[in-house]
Amino acid sequence: MGIIVTSKCGNAVVRNTIRRRTRAIAKSLIESGRLGGDIVFRFRCEGSVPDFESLERDLAECSERWSA
């Protein structure tokens, strides 16, 4: 799993927060069997930084599309 967060998302603290949240969500998706294989997440925060709930919802929706 790779996580890319551009500098447009904010300073290092914000970018690392996004990385940590993504890792936690991806770990739960992998353990539940809803996400597998090699995957790269790329964030281009244009405007606002996603909160944990919206990030979790978006990644769950994407994992459903990927597994189809």
Which residues lie closer than 8 Å to 66 by C-beta, 6 or more apart? 35, 39
pLDDT at 10: 87
pLDDT mean across residues, the chain: 87
Residue 65 lies in a domain: no
pLDDT tens string 37-67:
788 889 888 777 788 999 999 888 988 887 6
Residue 67 lies in a domain: no
User: Does the pLDDT at position 16 exceed 90?
Assistant: yes
Residue 31 lies in a domain: yes
pLDDT at 68: 59
Cross-strand pairs, 40:
2
Residue 14 lies in a domain: yes
Task: Quote the domain boundaries for residue 19.
Answer: 2-54
Residue 66 lies in a domain: no
**Can you give the length of the chain in residues?**
68
Query: What is the distance between the alpha carbons of residues 64 and 42, in angstroms, rounded to a whole number?
Result: 18
